[in-house]
Amino acid sequence: MNRKILVLVALMLSVIVNAQNNFRFSYVQIKYPNNTHSEWKKIDNVFLHNVDKGVISNYSSEGTNNQYTIIDKETRLKIDEQWYKVIPVRDNSGTNLVFYLCENQLFGLMLYNPNNDILVVYSPSNTITVPTITKQGNTQNAGSTPTTNNVQNRFRIDCSLVTIYNPDTKKWSDWSEANNTFVINTNNNWDIIHYKASGNRASYRKVSDVETGKTFDGKEYQIASFLDEDGEEFLLQLIDDHSVRVIFTYKSGMRVSFAISNN
């Protein structure tokens, strides 16, 4: 039997043993900048995500092996109700690309090239609906506008309401109308710019790793420590539900919650 075929069979068998880092797809489609796309093509590709070596390999049934070097930290992004691992990579030619690996493997994997706005979609099925990612990486996502900027995801959250928790009275204030905009992941440190309702602008420096979890009622969130412009450290929590909430928690116990809606 052809050696390349033997290698591919071995890789496919490894998918069964270690599904966390190995993925097999049966179809591929290419989406172009003018909103056109190719027909689904039947393939038999195996992707190996080697976290230790920082490499993703694409083995095709035709015997080719394309390798991608991971060049930045992995993040998470919600697109059309599905969570994706976002992995910035560089191919053998030196081109920066972005892998979007759906945590629900039924929705597959996408390889996005921000230089020419071409999206290659790998899937176990030819019936999925492919998310829209524009040249700036925009996707429609529950009130936020994520963007891809070569090696990371930048997105904007527009909040129209605010409430403040008083640690002395242990009560939240009534919701007040106030337009606040947050630009998340503004640089390689994933810092934040806050456009305040007063018209002023503030920058927040991330000083810890981002952690993820779920609230007591099952809502996904991300949380990290930041420094404000006065050098005061606070926790910023982003809760991803239909209202999209951004919550500041200070060491004094005071909390400020921004939201798109109060439902």
If phi over 0 gives left and psi between -120 and 50 gives alpha, with beta otherwise, what is residue 192?
beta
Distance CA 63, CA 44 (A): 10
Euclidean distance between the first and the last CA atom of the chain, given in angstroms as a whole number: 62
- What is the Cα–Cα distance from 253 to 248, expressed in whole angstroms? 10
Q: Supply the pLDDT for residue 74.
A: 81
- In single-letter form, the type of residue at position 7 comes to V
Hey, where are the domains in the chain?
Answer: 3-131, 153-259
Tell me how crowded residue 136 is: count the other CB atoms within 10 A of its CB: 13
Query: Residue length, the chain?
Result: 263
- With 0-12 / 13-18 / 19 or more C-beta atoms within 10 angstroms meaning exposed / middle / buried, residue 123 is buried
**Residues of the chain with confidence (pLDDT) below 70:** 1-21, 104-107, 132-153, 241-244, 262-263
Task: Tell me the C-alpha distance between 90 and 92, whole Å.
Answer: 7
Q: Which ranges of the chain does DSSP label H, i.e. alpha helix?
A: 3-17
DSSP E strand boundaries for the chain:
22-31, 41-50, 55-59, 65-70, 75-79, 82-90, 96-102, 109-113, 118-123, 144-148, 153-166, 171-172, 176-184, 192-195, 201-206, 211-214, 220-227, 233-240, 245-250, 255-259
Q: Which two tokens stand for residue 195?
A: 């456009």
pTM of the model: 0.47
Give the residue among 132, 155, 158, 137 at the shortest CA–CA distance from 145: 155
∠ CA 136-139-245, nearest 5°, is 115
Please give the pLDDT value at position 64.
81
The rounded distance, in Å, linking the Cα atoms of 79 and 240 is 11
